[in-house]
Protein backbone atom coordinates (compact mmCIF):
# COMPACT_ATOMS: atom_id res chain seq x y z
CA UNK A 1 0.00 0.00 0.00
CA UNK A 2 1.32 3.43 -0.96
CA UNK A 3 -0.05 6.02 1.49
CA UNK A 4 0.31 9.79 0.93
CA UNK A 5 -0.51 12.41 3.58
CA UNK A 6 -1.95 15.76 2.45
CA UNK A 7 -1.76 18.79 4.75
CA UNK A 8 -3.29 22.18 3.91
CA UNK A 9 -1.77 25.21 5.65
CA UNK A 10 -2.28 28.96 5.79
CA UNK A 11 -0.37 31.27 8.16
CA UNK A 12 -0.14 28.76 10.99
CA UNK A 13 3.54 27.92 10.99
CA UNK A 14 3.50 27.11 14.72
CA UNK A 15 1.00 24.33 14.02
CA UNK A 16 2.71 23.08 10.88
CA UNK A 17 5.97 22.79 12.84
CA UNK A 18 4.23 20.22 15.05
CA UNK A 19 2.26 18.38 12.34
CA UNK A 20 5.03 17.84 9.82
CA UNK A 21 7.47 16.18 12.28
CA UNK A 22 4.61 14.03 13.59
CA UNK A 23 3.92 12.80 10.05
CA UNK A 24 7.61 12.10 9.42
CA UNK A 25 7.52 9.69 12.36
CA UNK A 26 4.58 7.80 10.84
CA UNK A 27 4.33 5.07 8.21
CA UNK A 28 3.72 7.41 5.28
CA UNK A 29 5.38 7.25 1.86
CA UNK A 30 5.16 10.95 1.05
CA UNK A 31 3.76 14.18 2.50
CA UNK A 32 2.15 16.85 0.34
CA UNK A 33 1.98 20.26 2.04
CA UNK A 34 -0.31 22.71 0.25
CA UNK A 35 0.66 26.27 1.16
CA UNK A 36 -2.41 28.43 0.60
CA UNK A 37 -0.42 31.61 -0.20
CA UNK A 38 0.81 32.06 3.38
CA UNK A 39 2.18 35.49 4.23
CA UNK A 40 4.07 34.46 7.39
CA UNK A 41 7.36 32.54 7.54
CA UNK A 42 5.77 29.30 6.26
CA UNK A 43 7.28 29.41 2.72
CA UNK A 44 10.84 29.92 4.01
CA UNK A 45 10.48 27.21 6.64
CA UNK A 46 9.14 24.71 4.12
CA UNK A 47 11.96 25.53 1.69
CA UNK A 48 14.50 24.68 4.41
CA UNK A 49 13.21 21.20 5.20
CA UNK A 50 15.38 19.17 2.82
CA UNK A 51 13.29 16.00 3.05
CA UNK A 52 12.63 14.06 -0.15
CA UNK A 53 9.35 12.77 1.23
CA UNK A 54 7.96 16.31 1.59
CA UNK A 55 6.39 17.85 -1.53
CA UNK A 56 5.31 21.50 -1.31
CA UNK A 57 2.50 22.83 -3.50
CA UNK A 58 2.39 26.63 -3.32
CA UNK A 59 -0.86 28.24 -4.47
CA UNK A 60 -0.87 31.82 -5.82
CA UNK A 61 -3.93 32.83 -3.78
CA UNK A 62 -5.69 31.57 -0.67
CA UNK A 63 -8.31 29.11 -1.91
CA UNK A 64 -9.33 27.96 1.56
CA UNK A 65 -9.25 24.42 2.83
CA UNK A 66 -11.49 23.25 -0.01
CA UNK A 67 -9.18 24.55 -2.73
CA UNK A 68 -6.14 23.30 -0.85
CA UNK A 69 -7.40 19.73 -0.54
CA UNK A 70 -8.42 19.66 -4.19
CA UNK A 71 -4.95 20.88 -5.22
CA UNK A 72 -3.18 18.47 -2.88
CA UNK A 73 -5.11 15.45 -4.08
CA UNK A 74 -4.58 16.45 -7.71
CA UNK A 75 -0.81 16.70 -7.12
CA UNK A 76 -0.70 13.32 -5.36
CA UNK A 77 -2.74 11.73 -8.16
CA UNK A 78 -0.58 13.17 -10.94
CA UNK A 79 2.88 12.81 -9.39
CA UNK A 80 2.91 10.24 -6.57
CA UNK A 81 0.56 7.39 -7.64
CA UNK A 82 -0.94 6.68 -4.20
CA UNK A 83 -3.16 3.77 -3.29
CA UNK A 84 -4.61 5.87 -0.44
CA UNK A 85 -4.33 9.49 0.66
CA UNK A 86 -5.06 10.83 4.14
CA UNK A 87 -6.24 14.42 4.59
CA UNK A 88 -5.71 16.80 7.51
CA UNK A 89 -5.50 20.48 8.42
CA UNK A 90 -2.21 21.99 9.57
CA UNK A 91 -3.43 21.91 13.19
CA UNK A 92 -4.28 18.19 13.03
CA UNK A 93 -1.98 15.20 13.16
CA UNK A 94 -2.03 11.42 13.68
CA UNK A 95 -1.44 10.11 17.15
CA UNK A 96 1.67 7.88 17.39
CA UNK A 97 1.18 4.68 15.44
CA UNK A 98 -2.10 5.76 13.83
CA UNK A 99 -0.97 5.21 10.26
CA UNK A 100 0.54 1.82 11.11
CA UNK A 101 -2.84 0.90 12.59
CA UNK A 102 -4.58 2.03 9.42
CA UNK A 103 -2.29 -0.14 7.32
CA UNK A 104 -2.80 -3.21 9.49
CA UNK A 105 -6.59 -2.78 9.72
CA UNK A 106 -7.22 -2.13 6.02
CA UNK A 107 -7.31 -5.78 4.82
CA UNK A 108 -9.92 -6.63 7.47
CA UNK A 109 -11.92 -3.52 6.63
CA UNK A 110 -11.92 -4.30 2.94
CA UNK A 111 -13.28 -7.76 3.73
CA UNK A 112 -16.01 -6.38 5.98
CA UNK A 113 -16.98 -3.32 3.94
CA UNK A 114 -17.56 -4.22 0.28
CA UNK A 115 -16.31 -1.51 -2.08
CA UNK A 116 -14.51 0.32 0.73
CA UNK A 117 -13.51 3.80 -0.43
CA UNK A 118 -13.13 5.92 2.71
CA UNK A 119 -11.75 5.23 6.19
CA UNK A 120 -12.28 7.79 8.95
CA UNK A 121 -10.26 8.21 12.15
CA UNK A 122 -11.48 9.16 15.64
CA UNK A 123 -10.47 12.77 16.36
CA UNK A 124 -9.72 14.27 19.78
CA UNK A 125 -8.63 17.59 21.23
CA UNK A 126 -5.12 17.70 22.74
CA UNK A 127 -6.66 17.24 26.21
CA UNK A 128 -8.13 13.90 25.14
CA UNK A 129 -11.79 14.93 24.82
CA UNK A 130 -13.75 14.29 21.63
CA UNK A 131 -13.47 16.95 18.96
CA UNK A 132 -17.10 17.80 18.28
CA UNK A 133 -16.56 19.44 14.91
CA UNK A 134 -15.00 16.16 13.69
CA UNK A 135 -17.69 13.79 14.99
CA UNK A 136 -18.80 11.52 12.08
CA UNK A 137 -22.44 10.87 11.29
CA UNK A 138 -24.97 9.02 9.19
CA UNK A 139 -27.26 10.77 6.71
CA UNK A 140 -30.71 10.82 8.37
CA UNK A 141 -32.42 11.38 5.02
CA UNK A 142 -31.26 7.94 3.88
CA UNK A 143 -32.66 6.11 6.91
CA UNK A 144 -36.20 6.49 8.22
CA UNK A 145 -35.29 5.46 11.77
CA UNK A 146 -32.45 7.96 11.96
CA UNK A 147 -34.70 10.64 10.50
CA UNK A 148 -37.33 10.09 13.20
CA UNK A 149 -34.70 10.03 15.94
CA UNK A 150 -33.20 13.27 14.65
CA UNK A 151 -36.56 15.02 14.77
CA UNK A 152 -37.01 13.86 18.37
CA UNK A 153 -33.48 14.35 19.72
CA UNK A 154 -31.84 16.96 17.50
CA UNK A 155 -28.84 16.75 15.20
CA UNK A 156 -26.06 15.87 17.63
CA UNK A 157 -27.71 12.88 19.30
CA UNK A 158 -29.99 12.01 16.41
CA UNK A 159 -27.56 10.88 13.72
CA UNK A 160 -24.01 11.53 14.99
CA UNK A 161 -21.92 8.76 16.53
CA UNK A 162 -22.09 8.39 20.30
CA UNK A 163 -19.18 8.81 22.71
CA UNK A 164 -19.14 5.06 23.39
CA UNK A 165 -18.51 4.34 19.72
CA UNK A 166 -15.15 6.18 20.00
CA UNK A 167 -13.67 3.63 22.41
CA UNK A 168 -10.40 2.24 20.99
CA UNK A 169 -11.74 -1.32 21.18
CA UNK A 170 -15.11 -0.43 19.61
CA UNK A 171 -15.85 -2.03 16.22
CA UNK A 172 -15.61 -0.24 12.89
CA UNK A 173 -18.92 1.29 11.84
CA UNK A 174 -20.52 2.31 8.54
CA UNK A 175 -21.04 6.08 8.27
CA UNK A 176 -21.98 8.58 5.57
CA UNK A 177 -20.30 11.87 6.52
CA UNK A 178 -16.97 12.86 8.07
CA UNK A 179 -14.54 15.78 8.13
CA UNK A 180 -11.19 16.17 6.41
CA UNK A 181 -9.15 15.27 9.50
CA UNK A 182 -7.91 11.71 9.48
CA UNK A 183 -9.91 11.15 6.30
CA UNK A 184 -8.44 8.35 4.17
CA UNK A 185 -9.52 8.08 0.52
CA UNK A 186 -8.76 5.15 -1.77
CA UNK A 187 -7.55 5.85 -5.30
CA UNK A 188 -10.47 4.01 -6.89
CA UNK A 189 -12.88 6.36 -5.12
CA UNK A 190 -11.54 9.60 -6.59
CA UNK A 191 -10.95 7.93 -9.95
CA UNK A 192 -14.70 7.34 -10.16
CA UNK A 193 -16.14 10.28 -8.20
CA UNK A 194 -13.53 12.98 -8.81
CA UNK A 195 -11.79 15.32 -6.38
CA UNK A 196 -13.34 17.56 -3.69
CA UNK A 197 -14.93 20.79 -4.92
CA UNK A 198 -12.31 23.49 -4.40
CA UNK A 199 -14.67 26.39 -5.08
CA UNK A 200 -16.41 25.95 -1.72
CA UNK A 201 -13.49 27.77 -0.01
CA UNK A 202 -14.13 26.47 3.54
CA UNK A 203 -16.77 24.40 5.35
CA UNK A 204 -18.97 21.74 3.89
CA UNK A 205 -16.47 20.54 1.29
CA UNK A 206 -15.83 17.40 3.35
CA UNK A 207 -19.55 16.74 3.89
CA UNK A 208 -20.39 17.19 0.23
CA UNK A 209 -17.46 15.03 -0.85
CA UNK A 210 -18.53 12.31 1.58
CA UNK A 211 -22.07 12.34 0.20
CA UNK A 212 -20.75 12.21 -3.38
CA UNK A 213 -18.53 9.22 -2.64
CA UNK A 214 -21.36 7.42 -0.87
CA UNK A 215 -23.73 8.10 -3.77
CA UNK A 216 -21.08 6.66 -6.08
CA UNK A 217 -21.40 3.38 -4.20
CA UNK A 218 -18.34 3.49 -1.93
CA UNK A 219 -18.52 2.32 1.68
CA UNK A 220 -17.22 4.61 4.43
CA UNK A 221 -15.88 3.05 7.64
CA UNK A 222 -15.26 4.79 10.95
CA UNK A 223 -12.34 3.08 12.72
CA UNK A 224 -11.86 4.23 16.34
CA UNK A 225 -8.53 2.40 16.61
CA UNK A 226 -7.07 5.00 14.22
CA UNK A 227 -6.77 8.18 16.27
CA UNK A 228 -5.91 11.79 15.41
CA UNK A 229 -5.46 14.98 17.43
CA UNK A 230 -6.97 18.29 16.29
CA UNK A 231 -5.66 21.39 18.06
CA UNK A 232 -8.42 23.65 16.78
CA UNK A 233 -10.17 26.64 18.35
CA UNK A 234 -12.49 27.92 15.65
CA UNK A 235 -15.79 26.95 17.30
CA UNK A 236 -17.11 28.84 20.30
CA UNK A 237 -20.17 28.41 22.48
CA UNK A 238 -23.23 26.96 20.79
CA UNK A 239 -21.32 25.86 17.67
CA UNK A 240 -20.78 29.47 16.58
CA UNK A 241 -17.66 29.74 14.43
CA UNK A 242 -15.08 32.44 15.09
CA UNK A 243 -14.33 34.82 13.42
CA UNK A 244 -17.89 35.43 12.30
CA UNK A 245 -17.15 35.61 8.56
CA UNK A 246 -17.00 31.81 8.76
CA UNK A 247 -20.77 31.77 9.40
CA UNK A 248 -21.30 32.97 5.83
CA UNK A 249 -19.52 29.93 4.33
CA UNK A 250 -21.10 27.56 6.84
CA UNK A 251 -24.58 28.66 5.73
CA UNK A 252 -23.82 29.17 2.03
CA UNK A 253 -22.34 25.72 1.59
CA UNK A 254 -24.91 24.30 4.00
CA UNK A 255 -27.60 25.03 1.44
CA UNK A 256 -25.97 22.58 -0.96
CA UNK A 257 -25.48 20.07 1.87
CA UNK A 258 -29.23 20.16 2.53
CA UNK A 259 -29.88 19.71 -1.17
CA UNK A 260 -27.49 16.79 -1.61
CA UNK A 261 -28.35 15.04 1.66
CA UNK A 262 -32.13 15.30 1.35
CA UNK A 263 -32.67 15.09 -2.40
CA UNK A 264 -34.81 17.40 -4.53
CA UNK A 265 -38.19 16.49 -3.04
CA UNK A 266 -37.33 16.95 0.62
CA UNK A 267 -34.79 19.75 0.07
CA UNK A 268 -37.14 22.69 0.86
CA UNK A 269 -38.16 21.18 4.21
CA UNK A 270 -34.55 20.23 4.98
CA UNK A 271 -33.37 23.78 4.29
CA UNK A 272 -36.02 25.18 6.64
CA UNK A 273 -34.80 22.74 9.31
CA UNK A 274 -31.15 23.71 8.85
CA UNK A 275 -32.04 27.41 8.83
CA UNK A 276 -33.84 27.05 12.15
CA UNK A 277 -30.74 25.40 13.65
CA UNK A 278 -28.49 28.22 12.40
CA UNK A 279 -30.89 30.87 13.69
CA UNK A 280 -30.95 29.28 17.16
CA UNK A 281 -27.16 29.22 17.29
CA UNK A 282 -27.10 32.96 16.66
CA UNK A 283 -28.74 33.51 20.05
CA UNK A 284 -25.40 32.65 21.67
CA UNK A 285 -24.06 35.94 20.29
CA UNK A 286 -24.68 39.27 21.99
CA UNK A 287 -25.29 42.84 20.80
CA UNK A 288 -23.55 43.89 17.60
CA UNK A 289 -22.03 40.43 17.22
CA UNK A 290 -25.52 38.92 17.05
CA UNK A 291 -26.58 41.36 14.34
CA UNK A 292 -23.46 40.53 12.35
CA UNK A 293 -24.07 36.81 12.80
CA UNK A 294 -27.57 37.05 11.34
CA UNK A 295 -26.34 39.24 8.49
CA UNK A 296 -23.69 36.63 7.60
CA UNK A 297 -26.38 33.96 7.84
CA UNK A 298 -28.78 35.78 5.49
CA UNK A 299 -26.05 36.47 2.95
CA UNK A 300 -24.94 32.84 3.08
CA UNK A 301 -28.46 31.55 2.53
CA UNK A 302 -29.00 33.88 -0.41
CA UNK A 303 -25.71 33.03 -2.11
CA UNK A 304 -26.17 29.32 -1.42
CA UNK A 305 -29.55 29.32 -3.12
CA UNK A 306 -28.00 31.22 -6.04
CA UNK A 307 -25.16 28.67 -6.28
CA UNK A 308 -22.32 31.10 -5.54
CA UNK A 309 -18.82 29.70 -5.03
CA UNK A 310 -15.36 30.98 -4.15
CA UNK A 311 -14.11 33.45 -1.57
CA UNK A 312 -16.53 36.32 -0.85
CA UNK A 313 -14.38 39.43 -0.40
CA UNK A 314 -17.38 41.51 0.71
CA UNK A 315 -17.94 39.27 3.73
CA UNK A 316 -14.33 39.58 4.87
CA UNK A 317 -14.40 43.36 4.50
CA UNK A 318 -17.59 43.61 6.55
CA UNK A 319 -16.21 41.56 9.44
CA UNK A 320 -12.81 43.23 9.44
CA UNK A 321 -14.34 46.70 9.59
Which contacts (CB < 8 Å, 24+ apart) does range 305-308 have?
305/255, 308/252
Is the domain of 217 the same as that of 243?
A: no
pLDDT beyond 90 at 43:
yes
222-265 per-position pLDDT tens digit = 999 999 999 987 555 556 678 899 999 999 999 999 999 999 99
Which of 257-275 are b and which e, b meaning 16 or more Cβ less than 10 Å from the residue's Cβ? Answer: bbbbbbeeeebeebbeebb
Three-state DSSP state, 81: coil
Q: Positive or negative CA dihedral for 55, 60, 62, 68?
A: negative
Residues 106 and 183 placed together within one structural domain of the fold:
yes
pLDDT band at 156; cut points 50, 70, 90: low
Q: How many domains does the chain have?
A: 2
pLDDT digits (tens, 9 = 90+) for 52-65: 999 999 999 999 99
Tell me the angle at which helices 64-79 and 205-215 cross, rounded to the nearest 10 degrees: 50
Picking from 230, 253, 281, the residue at the C-terminal end of a domain is: 230
Give the model's pLDDT for residue 235: 56
Mean pLDDT of the region 111-129: 97
Q: Given the DSSP bridges, would you call strands 183-186 and 84-89 parallel, antiparallel or unpaired?
A: antiparallel
Element spanning 13, H or E: helix 13-24
Last residue of a domain, one of 230, 258, 284: 230
Identify whether residues 152 and 241 lie together within a single domain.
no
Residues 185 and 302 in one domain: no
Per the document, the length of the chain is 321
Pairwise CA distance, residues 112 & 258, whole Å: 30
Identify whether residues 98 and 189 lie together within a single domain: yes
**Which contiguous run of DSSP H or E holds residue 88?**
strand 84-89
Average pLDDT, the chain: 93
pLDDT digits (tens, 9 = 90+) for 263-300: 999 999 999 989 999 999 999 899 999 999 999 999 99
The interaxial angle of helices 313-320 and 245-262, nearest 10 deg, is 140
Q: Judge if 7 and 124 occupy the same domain.
A: yes
Of 216, 314, 196, 313, whose CA–CA distance to 256 is shortest?
Answer: 196
Predicted local confidence at residue 221, as pLDDT: 98
CATH of the domain at 225: 3.90.550.60
Rounded CA-CA distance 203/8 in Å is 14
Please, which pLDDT band fits residue 27 given cuts at 50, 70 and 90? very high
Give one DSSP letter per residue of 17-80, joined into a string.
Answer: HHHHHHHHTSS-SEEEEEE-S--SSHHHHHHT---TTEEEEE-SS--HHHHHHHHHHHHHHHHT
Same domain, 145 and 274: no
| 89 sits in which H/E element | strand 84-89
Identify whether residues 148 and 272 lie together within a single domain. no
Helices (DSSP H) in 169-244: which residue ranges? 187-193, 205-215
Helix (H) or strand (E) holding 230: strand 219-230
Beta bridge partners of 8: 34, 89
Q: Does residue 285 sit in helix, strand or coil?
A: coil
- The residue from 181, 212, 230 where one domain ends is 230
DSSP state of 202: S
Same domain, 191 and 82: yes
DSSP category for residue 235:
B
Domain of residue 288: give its range: 237-320
Predicted pLDDT of residue 100: 98
Q: Is the pLDDT of residue 138 over 80?
A: yes
Give yes or no: residues 140 and 218 share one domain: yes
Amino acid sequence: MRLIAIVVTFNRLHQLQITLPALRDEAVDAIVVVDNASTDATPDWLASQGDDRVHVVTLPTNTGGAGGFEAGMAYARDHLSPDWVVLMDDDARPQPGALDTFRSETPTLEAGFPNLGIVVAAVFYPNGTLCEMNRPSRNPFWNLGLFARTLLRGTRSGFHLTDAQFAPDAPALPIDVASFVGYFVKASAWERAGLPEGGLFIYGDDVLYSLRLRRAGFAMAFVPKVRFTHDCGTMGDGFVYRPLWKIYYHCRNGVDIARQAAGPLIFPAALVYYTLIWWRRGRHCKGTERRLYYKMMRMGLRDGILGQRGRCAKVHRMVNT
